[in-house]
Structures are given as structure tokens and as C-alpha cells.
């Protein structure tokens, strides 16, 4: 989740993400704070230093808020003196969400911001569209894989094509869980919620995607030594490439979902035939789970197997893709033409959730 402003008055943009939460004001320079989006049962300062003693809860699962009380507390923290140091009543809010989320999730978020935080205006936008804006493009297909959900969204002239969107609930947190299982088989146990955060860090620093996993399985994988918070060391072997392989082979954990490459190609094939070549040539990556070393090469290899032979395939992997949604939101919220897109508090009071759905894209 992130907070940004632009327009008059400046707008705040909480970008909803299940693990990372950049926050700042739209139109400011590129410097969002980076915060893990979870809540502990203690409010003491320096929580990360004592996380081994705490229970960590995630308010979101697969892009959907499961605990609204905790989610509201996180938003309160974003507005606090430790973060934005601003009053919610002073700034409109641009909120982002994954595509194909339940409408009730959107309605509840609007209720919280209008009735609890008393924001003057709200707009809810699709993450992938904003990610594309961040690159300066308005047409392409975005493969966005974060902590809780992965989706492929074809976009034409700045608007997502709803009938073509593909979504799968396989993403970074599933990779972390699978890595924990693989490490357990290698003799390392991580039981608590705090230790799960250690696993996530190992994933981010040591894991990679193999261009040929069958070949790597036959070879003796180089082990990487990782220093744990207590000072002990852990040697991570084949789990380094086996865990993220889950993104392309969900059946490794018994999930019948499509792999990321299939989600991407299926989304393109569901689009108008005249647009398919353009979409194949304008694939953009977004989200933290696309940051694995070798991700782009592996995706290109898999897409080539599924795409027509005479089609040009180009995949763009912006260096700042972890924050592409935030950047795109900042750009959008800063435009003068965006003013008419806000749902005002007055509109919400008159029409309720219908006003939100009417102006959401």
C-alpha cells in the first residue's frame, strides 16, 4: 500500500500490495518508503529487531483483504507522524487493486476511506494499467506478479481489456512457503511467522530461475551460504531454483493453476486478433516476483514455445518494476485531466458503492 498526492489539493495514493507498501505524495520525486505490509501484535518501536518474539499477521491474502481491522490499522499508520505526517481529510486518495478482485473488497475499502478516514475523494485503479503508465506506454500487456497474486492484463490506449485479463493466485508468498518446505527437507526448520520472514529474505537474496531446470537437477548445484539472524549459517542448495520454479509449474504443490507463461499467452490470445502481434511485442514485467535472476530469460523461452512462430516477442523488465504501480499512480494522480475521475465524498454519500463501480477501471 502506498500514499501519494498531486492535483489540487494534493492526492494521497495508497497502493495496495500484499507485502511491500510504498507510500508518498503524488508528484513528489521518486522516493517511496518501502515497508512490509504486515502487522505484529506489539506496537513497540523497533519491531523488526525483536520480530523473533512476535507473531506476525498478514491482513491480505492473494490480493484480497481478509482482516479489515488490521488493514485499517496499517492505513492509520501510513497517515501517522512516522510516515506521511498528514491528515486524511486533506487529500484525495488513489487506491490500487489487482484485477478481478471481489467487488465487495472494493466497496469495503471505499467505506473505510470515506467513512473512517473522511477523505474528500477516492479513485480505485487497476495495478497493471498504472504499471504500464510508468513506462510511458499506453498499449501493451503487463505481467504483474507480486506477493499474493499474478495477473496478465492487456491494455489498449490506456484502458484494460476486461475480457482478456487472466489471473492466478500463485505468487511470491507461495514461493516462500514452498522454499520453507524445501529447506525443511534439507534439514532447516522455520516454524514461526517471524521465521517465515527469514525464509522470504533468503528467497529474495539467494533464489533464481533456471532456464533449464531439468539440466540443473542433473548437475550438482552450487550452495550459497546465508547468515541467519542468530549468527548461524545455512547452506542453500537446489532449493534456490526449485522454489521459484513454482511460478511456472504450480503443480509442484498440487495446484492446477496455469503457469505464469501460460497466463500471459492466454491473455494475449483472448484479445482481439489484430492486437496480438502488438501485445507480444510489448510485454512488460511488474511486481517483486519478477525480480528473480533469470526470470526474463525463462519467461521468453517459455512464451516462444506457445506463441506463433512468426511473431516478434519483446519483454521489457524495467529496473524499478517493484514500484511500477506506484510510479504510474503518481503520474496519473498528478495530471490536471485526472480531476474529473475522482469519486467525491458527496457522490459517495448520494450513490454509495455504485459511484465507485461507475468510475473504476
Is the domain of 59 the same as that of 196? Answer: no
Is the domain of 121 the same as that of 268? Answer: no
Inter-residue contact 313 to 280 (CB < 8 Å) = yes
Residue 119's SS3 state is: coil
Cis peptide before 9 (omega within 30 of 0): yes
In a domain, 30, yes or no: no
In a domain, 280, yes or no: yes
In a domain, 100, yes or no: yes
Query: Considering the entire predicted model, what is its pTM?
Result: 0.85
Is the domain of 166 the same as that of 95? Answer: no
Inter-residue contact 127 to 144 (CB < 8 Å) = yes
Name 227's Cβ contacts closer than 8 Å, sequence gap at least 6. 233, 234
Is the domain of 60 the same as that of 193? Answer: no
Res 51: pLDDT: 61
In a domain, 24, yes or no: no
Res 227: pLDDT: 87
Res 40: pLDDT: 43
Res 238: pLDDT: 92
In a domain, 277, yes or no: yes
Is the domain of 162 the same as that of 292? Answer: yes
Is the domain of 45 the same as that of 103? Answer: yes
Is the domain of 205 the same as that of 223? Answer: yes
Give the DSSP per-residue string, 217-236.
Answer: HHS-PPPEEEE-TTS-EEEE
Q: Residues 197-224: what's their mean pLDDT?
A: 88
Res 139: pLDDT: 97
Res 80: pLDDT: 87
Measured CA to CA, the distance from residue 58 to residue 175 in angstroms comes to 16
Res 186: pLDDT: 84
Q: Residues 200-226: what's their mean pLDDT?
A: 88
Inter-residue contact 25 to 84 (CB < 8 Å) = yes
Is the domain of 179 the same as that of 311? Answer: no
In a domain, 2, yes or no: no
Question: Of 33-47, 141-155, 203-217, which range is least confident?
Answer: 33-47
Q: How much of the chain, in percent, has pLDDT values that exceed 70?
A: 84
Measured CA to CA, the distance from residue 200 to residue 186 in angstroms comes to 17
Q: The dihedral of CA 272, 270, 174, 231: what is its sign?
A: negative
Give me the domain span that covers residue 236: 172-247
Res 26: pLDDT: 60
Question: Is the pLDDT reported for residue 215 higher than 90?
Answer: no
In a domain, 17, yes or no: no
Tally of helices (H runs) and strands (E runs) in the chain: 13, 15
Question: Is the pLDDT reported for residue 25 higher than 60?
Answer: no
Question: Is the pLDDT reported for residue 1 higher than 50?
Answer: no
Number of domains in the chain: 3
Cell of 263: 497466463
First to last CA, the chain: 18
Mean per-residue pLDDT of the chain? 86
Could you report the per-residue pLDDT of 59-116, keeping only the tens digit for each? 998 888 999 999 999 999 989 888 888 889 999 999 998 888 899 999 999 999 999 9
Which of these three, 216, 247, 278, is where a domain ends? 247
Is the domain of 157 the same as that of 227? Answer: no
- Whichever domain contains 262, its CATH number is 3.30.420.40
Is the domain of 331 the same as that of 353? Answer: yes
Could you report the per-residue pLDDT of 281-305, keeping only the tens digit for each? 999 999 999 999 999 999 999 999 9
Res 12: pLDDT: 58
Which of these three, 209, 229, 247, is where a domain ends? 247
HEC-encoded secondary structure of 126-165: EHHHHHHHCCCCCCEEEEEECCCCEEEEEEECCEECHHHC
Is the domain of 350 the same as that of 288? Answer: no
How confident is residue 46, by pLDDT bands cut at 50, 70 and 90? low
The pairing of strands 93-97 and 121-126 is: parallel
Measured CA to CA, the distance from residue 203 to residue 16 in angstroms comes to 22
Measured CA to CA, the distance from residue 87 to residue 72 in angstroms comes to 15
- Top pLDDT among 194 and 147 is at 147
In a domain, 203, yes or no: yes
Is the domain of 73 the same as that of 202? Answer: no
The candidate with the shortest Cα–Cα distance to 359, out of 122, 43, 49, is 122
Give the DSSP per-residue string, 41-96.
Answer: S---S-GGGGGGGS-EE-SEETTEES-HHHHHHHHHHHHSTTTT---GGGS-EEEE
Inter-residue contact 324 to 131 (CB < 8 Å) = yes
- Whichever domain contains 218, its CATH number is 3.90.640.10
Res 360: pLDDT: 74
Amino acid at each position: 500500500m502506498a500514499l501519494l498526492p498531486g492535483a489540487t489539493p494534493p492526492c494521497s495514493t495508497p497502493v495496495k500490495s500484499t507485502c511491500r507498501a510504498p507510500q508518498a505524495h503524488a508528484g513528489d520525486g521518486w522516493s517511496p518508503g518501502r515497508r512490509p505490509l504486515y502487522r505484529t501484535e506489539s506496537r513497540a518501536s523497533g519491531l523488526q529487531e525483536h520480530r523473533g518474539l512476535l507473531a506476525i499477521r498478514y491482513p491480505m491474502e492473494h490480493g484480497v483483504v481478509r482482516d479489515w481491522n488490521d488493514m485499517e490499522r496499517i492505513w492509520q499508520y501510513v497517515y501517522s507522524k512516522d510516515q506521511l505526517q498528514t491528515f486524511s481529510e486533506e487529500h484525495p486518495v488513489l487506491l490500487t487493486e489487482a484485477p478481478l478482485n471481489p467487488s465487495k473488497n472494493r466497496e469495503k475499502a471505499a467505506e473505510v476511506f470515506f467513512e473512517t478516514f473522511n477523505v474528500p475523494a477516492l479513485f480505485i485503479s487497476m495495478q497493471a494499467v498504472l504499471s504500464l503508465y510508468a513506462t510511458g506506454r499506453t498499449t501493451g500487456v503487463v505481467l504483474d506478479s507480486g506477493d499474493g497474486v499474478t495477473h496478465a492484463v492487456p491494455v489498449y490506449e490506456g484502458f484494460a481489456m476486461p475480457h482478456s485479463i487472466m489471473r492466478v493466485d500463485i505468487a511470491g508468498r507461495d514461493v516462500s512457503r514452498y522454499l520453507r518446505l524445501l529447506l525443511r527437507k534439507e534439514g532447516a526448520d522455520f516454524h514461526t511467522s517471524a521465521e517465515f520472514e527469514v525464509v522470504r529474505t533468503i528467497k529474495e537474496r539467494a533464489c533464481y530461475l533456471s532456464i533449464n531446470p531439468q539440466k540443473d537437477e542433473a548437475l550438482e548445484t552450487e550452495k550459497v551460504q546465508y547468515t541467519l539472524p542468530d549468527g548461524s549459517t545455512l547452506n542453500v542448495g537446489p532449493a534456490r531454483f526449485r522454489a521459484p520454479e513454482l511460478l511456472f509449474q504450480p503443480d509442484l504443490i498440487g495446484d492446477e493453476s496455469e503457469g505464469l507463461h501460460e497466463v500471459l499467452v492466454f491473455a494475449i490470445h483472448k484479445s482481439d486478433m489484430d492486437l496480438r502481434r502488438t501485445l507480444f511485442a510489448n510485454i512488460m514485467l511488474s511486481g517483486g516476483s519478477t525480480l528473480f535472476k533469470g526470470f526474463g530469460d525463462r519467461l521468453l523461452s517459455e512464451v516462444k514455445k506457445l506463441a506463433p512462430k512468426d511473431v516478434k516477442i519483446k519483454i521489457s523488465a524495467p529496473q524499478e518494476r517493484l514500484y511500477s504501480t506506484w510510479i504510474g499512480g503518481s503520474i496519473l494522480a498528478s495530471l490536471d485531466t485526472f480531476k474529473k475521475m475522482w469519486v467525491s465524498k458527496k457522490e459517495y454519500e448520494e450513490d454509495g458503492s455504485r459511484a465507485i463501480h461507475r468510475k473504476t477501471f
